[in-house]
Amino acid sequence: METPQLQQDSAAWRFFVQVAFLISLGLMSLGIWELPVNLWIRGFLGMGLFFTVSSTIVLTKTMRDEHEAQKLIKCLTNAKTEKMLHDYEIKP
């Protein structure tokens, strides 16, 4: 039975993703702060930004967990199939 390979991202890719996230969050926050509107409108937009970011993070974690669960189920199914084939193998 072959073991499933774990995908590992490079350190450079993780750094790029984190920096891109921080830049986009920072620039969006700065853009909201610099809007020529009342403070309560800026607060409303800031809350919208916060909830959008937090729901995106939760969505990606949920999708990753679902994907990992499906990989585990497929791995177990393959192991059971290989065991059944091995048990019923014709011995000379």
Q: Tell me if 22 is assigned to some domain.
A: yes
pLDDT reported for residue 86: 80
Q: What is the mean pLDDT of residues 28-43?
A: 95
Total number of domains in the chain: 1
What range does the domain containing 73 cover?
11-87
Q: Tell me if 47 is assigned to some domain.
A: yes
The residue with greater pLDDT, 84 or 29, is 29
Q: 25: closest CA among 42, 46, 40? A: 46
Instruction: For the chain, give the mean pLDDT.
Output: 86
2 has pLDDT over 60 = no
Helix ranges (H only) for 1-92 are 11-33, 39-87
pTM for the predicted model, two decimal places: 0.64
Phi, psi of 38 (to 5 degrees): -65, 160
From residue 23, alpha-carbon distances to 16, 27, 53, 85 in Å are: 10, 6, 13, 54
54 has pLDDT over 80 = yes
Q: Tell me if 4 is assigned to some domain.
A: no
6 has pLDDT over 90 = no
Supply the Cα-derived Rg of the chain in whole angstroms: 24
Q: Tell me if 56 is assigned to some domain.
A: yes
